[in-house]
Structure 1
Amino acid sequence: MNVIPKLITDNPELLLYIDGKSHTTVLGGIKLTGFDRLKVTLKIVFGGNTIKAFRHNLDLYNSVQCEHLVEKASEALDVAAAELAGIISRLTTALEDYRSERLEAMKPKQAEKKQLTEAERKIALQYLKAPGLLGRTRQAISASGIVGEEVNSLIAYLIYTSRKRNTPLHLMCLGPSGTGKTWLQERVSELIPEEDKLEITMLSMNAFYYFGKDELKNKLLLIEDMDGADNVLYPLRELQSKRRISKTVTLKDSKGNLKTVTLNVEGPVCVSGCTTREQLYEDNANRCILLYTDDSPEQDKRIMDYQRKQSAGLVDQQAERNVREQLKNVQRLLQPVSVKNPFATYLQLPEAIFKPRRTMLLLLLFTETITFYHQYQRELQTDTTTGEQYVETTIEDIEVAFSLLETTLLKKSDELNDACRSFFEKLKAWLRQNDSETFYSKEVRPVFRLSPSSLSRYLYELERMGYIKIARGSRYKGFEYKVQSWDDLENLTNDAHEMMENILAEIRKVNHSSPGVAQSPDGLHKVQKTSKKTAVAQQQ
C-alpha cells in the first residue's frame, strides 16, 4: 500500500517531509523571500534508522547540487539513486507549494467592496443631494465620536475623499507627543470604506515595489508614525508626485541565467501620516496639507469629559457606529468625475507664503475636492472638444476652501514652526498680563512647564529670527530678553484676510450665471450641457 507523501508544517523551523520509508527534515525551515532560490538544510533518514542519517545543505534549484546530493545520499543510505531523486523532486514541489501558501496567508486581507442595499443607497443619495452638505458632514463627523477638532477633522475627511480623484491630496498630522495626532487620523479614517484604505505601521525598504500593479490605485494609505516609514519615504514621495513607481531588479531564471525585470506599481494614492518632526520630513510635508492638532487646555477638557462619559456608559456607541456606516456609504456613492474651476486664475497667495508653487497647487486641489464632494448637487457638463464630463467649481466652494485652510495657509506664511509660534504667542500674552516687555528664562520655564532644552531651543530660534533680543545679563547670571515683535501674527492674519476678501470680491464681479440643476433618480445629473466659454474666460 502506497503512502501519500505529506509535508508536516506544525513547526516552521523544523519541517518534516514523509515519503514512503523516507523521513526528510528541513532544518531551520525555508526563507519565504527570493523566488529564484530554495536553500535548505536536509536530514534524510530511511526506514526509521536515525543512526544512519544523511545531512546536507544545498539550493534545490541548483541541478548540480541536487545531483551531488542524490549521489552521496544514495551511497550513504544504501538507496537507489532513482528512488531518492524522485523523493527530492517531490520534496521541492511540496516546499514550493508551502512557500506560496505562507506568502498568500501573510498578504494583508483587502476587504471586499460592500454592495449597498436599495435602502442604503437611497439614504446616501438623499444625504449627498440635500442642501448644507458640508455643514451636515461636519455635524456627522462630531456625532461619530470625534471630540473637538471640528475644522481639522472636516479637512481630513475631504482629503481622504480625494483618493477617488486622479490628483488626490495628501495629509500630514503634526503636533507634540500625546496631542492626539494618531487618534485624529484613526477616527477620521473610520469614516472611509474598509476596501479603500490600507493601514501601515512599518514597511521594509522595497515593500512598495512588490504590491500588485493596481493594488494601491485610488487607495488611502495610513501611516501611523512617519518614524516607522523611514525606509519608504522616497517611494512615498514618488507615489505622491508622479502617481506611479517602478524599479528594475535582476533575477535568475530556472537555468541560472540573469535577467532584468521591471516592477511597476500604479497610483494615484492618498497618503496620510503623523509625526512630531515636521522639518525632518520636509520633502514629504511640502506635498501635503498640514494639520496641527489642538493641544489647548480647552481641548484637553473636552476629551477628558468624553472619556468620563464613555467610562460611565453615557455615550451611545451604537449611534456613533451608525453615523460612521452612513458616511462610508456616502463615500461609496461618489463617482470619479472631473472638476473644472473657472475661477482658478483669480486665486492668489500671500507673498509671505514659503514654497508658493506647491501651496497654490494644494489650494486648487482642495477647492476641486470640495466641488467633487458636491457632485450630486452640480450639473454634469460635457466638453465638446474632448468629450470629457465634468462639474464646475462655484464661488461658495472657494469661500469654504479659504475658510478651512486659513490656519494652514498662515502656517505656511509663518517662518516660525508651530511649536515655537505657540510658545511665542503664549509668552506675549503672559507678558501683557504682567504689563512687562522683558523676561528671564528662569521666570518663564515654570510658568509654561517646559524642559530646559525645549526652552533654550525656542529662545535661540526667536533670537535668531529677531523676534526677541538680549537686553542685558550674562550666561552665568542669566539673560534678560526683550520682545521685539508684538503684532507680527496679527499683521500676517490681517493681510491674509484682506487678500482673501479682495479675491472673493473680484470673483463676485464676474457675471457667471449657474444654470438650474437637473438630476436623475440614480444620482449624477444626466442632462448634458455643451461646454462654452464662461464669462470668466471672456473677461480675460
Structure 2
Amino acid sequence: MAYDLRILDLFKKDIRKKGVVGEETTAATVKLIIVTRLLGGPGSKSKPTSAIVKGDSSSGKSYTVESTVRFFPPEAVLEMTAMSERALVYSKEDFKHRTIVLYEAVALREGVQDNLTAYLLRSLLSEGRLEYPVTVRAKDGNWTTKTIVKEGPTNLILTTTKVSIHAENETRALSLTTDDTPDQTQRVFRELANEGEGGVDLEPWHQLHRWLRTAEHRVTIPFGPALAELVPPVAIRLRRDFGAVLALIRAHAILHQLNRPRDSEGRIIATLDDYEVVRDLIAGVVSEGVGATVSPTVRDTVEAVSALAGVHQDGVTATALAEKLGLDKSAARRRLLMAKRDGYITNREERRGHPGRWVIGEPLPEEKELLPPRHRLENRTAGQASGGTVARGSEGDKGVGP
C-alpha cells in the first residue's frame, strides 16, 4: 500500500464500502489532516492543521469523521464526545503527534464566561504544548506551585451543527461542510437499501500509519516560494490558511514518501502531484474561508431568495425556500443562516419568535481563484526537477513500508 501512487484513491474506495457515500472528499480531507499530526516539533516551522466539519443533524458529519478515524490505529487519535473544564490538563493521555477528535463543539463551552476549556485547547494547538500551574501542598506542609506540562504538537477534528463557532476557534481550522442536497439524501437512501457486505479490512491501513509514525516526516517544498507569490494576499486569515495548505502538501508527501525523491539531507521532496491533490480537496474551502468566493450551497440559496422575492415582497420565509430547493425546513434555515453570516441576505423580521423574512443583502462576489491551478505553478517553477510525477525512492527504501 505504501508504494501506491494514489493512496487517497484507495482510501475513498474503502470508505465507500464502510457506507460513506457522497462525502468522500470530506473524508479524504479529514484523513490527510490527521496525517498532519506527524508534523511539528522543536525547531519546525510546520504545524499540524485542524478542521471543523459542519452540517445539519443527520447530515452524516459525525459518521464521516468516525468512519475515517477507524482507518487509523487507536494510538493516532483521541476521541471525545465531552470533557470537563480541565480535562486536557489532568488527562493521562499522551497528546504528542496525536489528533484530538471532538464529536460536538458544545464540548468547548463556547459562550461560557472565562471559558478555560477552549483557552487550553487553543494553547495546545497554537503553542504545541500546554503548561498549567497548579497549587499543591509540599511534603513540608507548605503550599507550592507545580506546573503540569502536556507536550504536543497535536491537532483537532471538531464536528458541529453550528454555522460558525467562536472566531478564535474558527480561524484556527479549515471549515468543511457536509452535503444537504436532495441528491445526497437519495444517495444515502440507496446505500441504506444496499444489502451487500460492505466490510473493509482495516489492518493494512493501521500497519501503514504505524509505519508512518516512525518513518521520515521532514519535507521540503521546492515550489513553496513560487506558490507564495501566486496566492493573492486578500485577507489576513490567509496567513494561517496558507500554512494549512503547506501542511497538507507535506502530509501528502509523507503518505507517498516511497514514491518521492530525497534531498541531500534525507528530507522528502514534495512534488506538484502533492499540490494538485491538496488543491482539489481544499481550494474551495480556502476561498470560502476568506470570502473570495461562496460555496454552491450559499450561491444557490441566495439566488433562490432573489427568485422568490417577487412573490414574497415582505421577505422570503424558510418554508418557501425549502419548497423552492426541495429541502426540509431545518436544512433551509441552516442555509439562510450561512448566507446571513456572510451578509448576502438579511432578516427583516425583528420580533423574537416570529418566522424570518429574508431579503437580499450584499451582492455575491465574483469567483476568485486563490490557489493557482497546477499549470500556472508548473510554468513558474519550470526547470525544477521535482515538478511532476517522480520515480520511487531509492532501492534502499524497498520493503520498508507495509
TM over 0.5: yes
What's the CA shift for 1:147? 1.8
What's the CA shift for 1:135? 2.3
Match of 2:197 among 308, 316, 321: 316
Tell me what 1:381 maps to: 263
The separation in 1 between residues aligned to 2:255 and 2:5, in whole angstroms, is 13
What's the CA shift for 1:367? 1.1
Asked whether the equivalents of residues 131 and 150 of structure 2 are also in contact (C-alpha less than 8 Å), the reply is yes
Match of 2:75 among 185, 191, 195: 195
Tell me what 1:258 maps to: 143
Matched to 2:103, the amino acid is E
The separation in 2 between residues aligned to 1:417 and 1:277, in whole angstroms, is 18
* CA shift in 2, pair 1:443/1:338, >3 Å: closer
Match of 2:103 among 217, 224, 228: 224
Matched to 1:332, the amino acid is R
Tell me what 1:46 maps to: none
Match of 2:203 among 322, 325, 329: 325
Match of 2:63 among 180, 183, 192: 183
Matched to 2:274, the amino acid is D
What's the CA shift for 1:195? 2.1
Tell me what 1:425 maps to: 300
* CA shift in 2, pair 1:221/1:497, >3 Å: closer
Matched to 1:140, the amino acid is D
Q: Report whether the alignment pairs 1:509 with 2:382.
A: yes
Corresponding residue SS for 2:117: helix
Match of 1:161 among 14, 21, 35: 35
Tell me what 1:448 maps to: 321
Asked whether the equivalents of residues 35 and 251 of structure 2 are also in contact (C-alpha less than 8 Å), the reply is yes
Matched to 2:17, the amino acid is A
Corresponding residue SS for 2:26: helix
Structure 2: tracts of 5 or more residues without a match: 41-46, 110-115, 323-328, 349-355
Write the deviation string for residues 212-246 of structure 1: whole angstroms up to 9, x where unpaired: 5x821111211111102325211111111111011
* CA shift in 2, pair 1:215/1:481, >3 Å: closer
**Which protein has greater RCO, CA pairs closer than 8 Å, 6+ apart?**
2
The separation in 1 between residues aligned to 2:123 and 2:362, in whole angstroms, is 42
What's the CA shift for 1:457? 6.8
Matched to 1:164, the amino acid is L
* CA shift in 2, pair 1:437/1:523, >3 Å: farther
What's the CA shift for 1:142? 2.0
Corresponding residue SS for 1:183: helix
Match of 1:406 among 254, 261, 283: 283
The separation in 2 between residues aligned to 1:381 and 1:484, in whole angstroms, is 50
Matched to 1:398, the amino acid is Y
Corresponding residue SS for 1:509: coil
Tell me what 1:8 maps to: none
* CA shift in 2, pair 1:441/1:179, >3 Å: farther
* CA shift in 2, pair 1:431/1:205, >3 Å: closer
Q: How does 1:327-346 map to 2 (within 5 A)?
A: 327-334=205-212, 335-346=215-226
Percent identity reads 20
Residues matched between the structures, number: 367
The separation in 2 between residues aligned to 1:232 and 1:480, in whole angstroms, is 36
Asked whether the equivalents of residues 314 and 357 of structure 2 are also in contact (C-alpha less than 8 Å), the reply is yes
Corresponding residue SS for 1:236: helix
Structure 1: tracts of 5 or more residues without a match: 1-126, 384-388, 471-477, 525-540
Tell me what 2:24 maps to: 150
* CA shift in 2, pair 1:246/1:142, >3 Å: same
The separation in 2 between residues aligned to 1:269 and 1:293, in whole angstroms, is 24
The separation in 1 between residues aligned to 2:30 and 2:53, in whole angstroms, is 9
Q: How does 1:111-130 map to 2 (within 5 A)?
A: 127-130=1-4
What's the CA shift for 1:201? 1.9
Tell me what 2:267 maps to: 390
Q: TM-score, normalised by structure 2?
A: 0.79
Tell me what 2:326 maps to: none
What's the CA shift for 1:461? 3.6
Asked whether the equivalents of residues 270 and 386 of structure 2 are also in contact (C-alpha less than 8 Å), the reply is no
What's the CA shift for 1:197? 1.7
Matched to 1:368, the amino acid is R
Write the deviation string for residues 12-37 of structure 1: whole angstroms up to 9, x where unpaired: xxxxxxxxxxxxxxxxxxxxxxxxxx
Matched to 2:4, the amino acid is A
Asked whether the equivalents of residues 164 and 336 of structure 1 are also in contact (C-alpha less than 8 Å), the reply is no
What's the CA shift for 1:401? 1.4
What's the CA shift for 1:130? 2.6
Q: Report whether the alignment pairs 1:298 with 2:183.
A: yes
The separation in 1 between residues aligned to 2:220 and 2:381, in whole angstroms, is 18
Match of 2:237 among 348, 355, 367: 355
Corresponding residue SS for 1:129: coil
Asked whether the equivalents of residues 124 and 153 of structure 2 are also in contact (C-alpha less than 8 Å), the reply is yes
**Structure with max Cα Rg:** 1
* CA shift in 2, pair 1:469/1:416, >3 Å: farther
The separation in 1 between residues aligned to 2:26 and 2:77, in whole angstroms, is 20
* CA shift in 2, pair 1:247/1:379, >3 Å: same
What's the CA shift for 1:379? 2.6
Tell me what 1:368 maps to: 250
* CA shift in 2, pair 1:263/1:390, >3 Å: same
Asked whether the equivalents of residues 216 and 268 of structure 2 are also in contact (C-alpha less than 8 Å), the reply is no
Tell me what 1:33 maps to: none
The separation in 2 between residues aligned to 1:196 and 1:480, in whole angstroms, is 45
The separation in 1 between residues aligned to 2:371 and 2:49, in whole angstroms, is 27
The separation in 1 between residues aligned to 2:207 and 2:178, in whole angstroms, is 27
What's the CA shift for 1:336? 4.1
* CA shift in 2, pair 1:328/1:365, >3 Å: same
RMSD (CA atoms): 3.4
What's the CA shift for 1:454? 4.5
Asked whether the equivalents of residues 248 and 260 of structure 1 are also in contact (C-alpha less than 8 Å), the reply is yes
What's the CA shift for 1:208? 1.3
Corresponding residue SS for 1:238: helix
The separation in 2 between residues aligned to 1:459 and 1:207, in whole angstroms, is 32
Corresponding residue SS for 2:369: helix
Match of 1:249 among 128, 134, 145: 134
Corresponding residue SS for 1:405: helix
